[in-house]
Structures are given as structure tokens and as C-alpha cells.
Amino acid sequence: MSRAEMRRLQREQKKSETVTYNLTKAQLDAMVNKKFRDELSRVKKEATEDAVRTAMTLMLTLPLEVLIDHYWQKSYADRIPKFTAYVIDYYKKWESGELDMDKLQADLWERGRVKIVEE
């Protein structure tokens, strides 16, 4: 094998190892935008799931702590399971559409004197 043939063989091996793609700017932009949209969608989904978990945890734990500390100091062991069961039951009713958010907010204002205002 001559020197020229060896060089040609090395060049061909090197070419077969590296793949070259020719893309237009529009194709490249479309690929980048798709990747960006996919990543953005994934991050939004994770943030939403985290926010829902935090909201559910606070929805159950904050009222429980207040009831234990200020209202059920002696009888909380008997009352907590019933209370949490009712809260979860009402949440399921809200999810299925049996409870109306506007009605719940009106009850919160009438009974608790707390108004939720969106800015």
C-alpha cells in the first residue's frame, strides 16, 4: 500500500466518523424552538405540581395546627381524623364540581370576615 493510498484511507475513515448535516437557518431555528418549548413545558409542569403539593400541604396542616393549638387542646387526637376526612371529602366535591368557588369565597367572607382579592 502506497503512502497516498494510506492517506486516502485515513481521510475516508475520519470522514465516516464525523457526520455533517446541512441545515437552513429556518430548520435550525425550528429545532431550537422545539427544544426550548419542550423544556419550558417541562419546567412549567414541575412548577405547577410543586405549587399544588405545597397548597395541599398548607390547606391541611395550617387549619389543623390552629385547631390543635387553640381549640382542641385536649381532644385533638379524636377529632383530627374526622376533620381531615371532611376536608378531603370537600376537596373531592370541589374537584367534581359539586362545590362552587364563588359560594365558598362568599361563605369565607360571611363567616370568617376574610375576603380573597385577586390583583
Considering the domain boundaries, does residue 92 fall inside one? yes
The answer on 100 and 84 residing in a single domain is: yes
Q: What's phi and psi for 74, nearest 5 deg?
A: -100, -30
User: What is the DSSP code (8-state) at residue 99?
Assistant: S
- Other Cβ atoms within 10 Å of 74 Cβ, number: 6
Between CA 13 and CA 2 the distance in angstroms is: 17
User: What are the grid coordinates assigned to 99, written together?
Assistant: 362545590
Query: Does the model's pTM come out above 0.75?
Result: no
Mean pLDDT of 19-34: 90
- Band of pLDDT at residue 59, cut at 50, 70 and 90: confident
SS3 20: coil
User: What is the DSSP code (8-state) at residue 113?
Assistant: -
Domain containing 95: what range? Answer: 74-119
Considering the domain boundaries, does residue 4 fall inside one? no
User: What is the DSSP code (8-state) at residue 28?
Assistant: H
- Cβ atoms of 114 and 108 closer than 8 Å: yes
Considering the domain boundaries, does residue 46 fall inside one? yes
Considering the domain boundaries, does residue 8 fall inside one? no
Q: Is the pLDDT of residue 119 over 90?
A: no
The answer on 87 and 62 residing in a single domain is: no
pLDDT of residue 20: 78
Mean pLDDT of 66-75: 90
End-to-end CA distance of the chain: 80
> For 3-20, what is each residue's pLDDT tens digit?
888 888 888 888 777 777
* pLDDT more than 90, % of the chain: 48
Considering the domain boundaries, does residue 17 fall inside one? no
* pLDDT more than 70, % of the chain: 100
What is the total count of domains within the chain? 2
The answer on 90 and 57 residing in a single domain is: no
pLDDT of residue 44: 97
Listed residues 71, 93, 109: the one ending a domain: 71
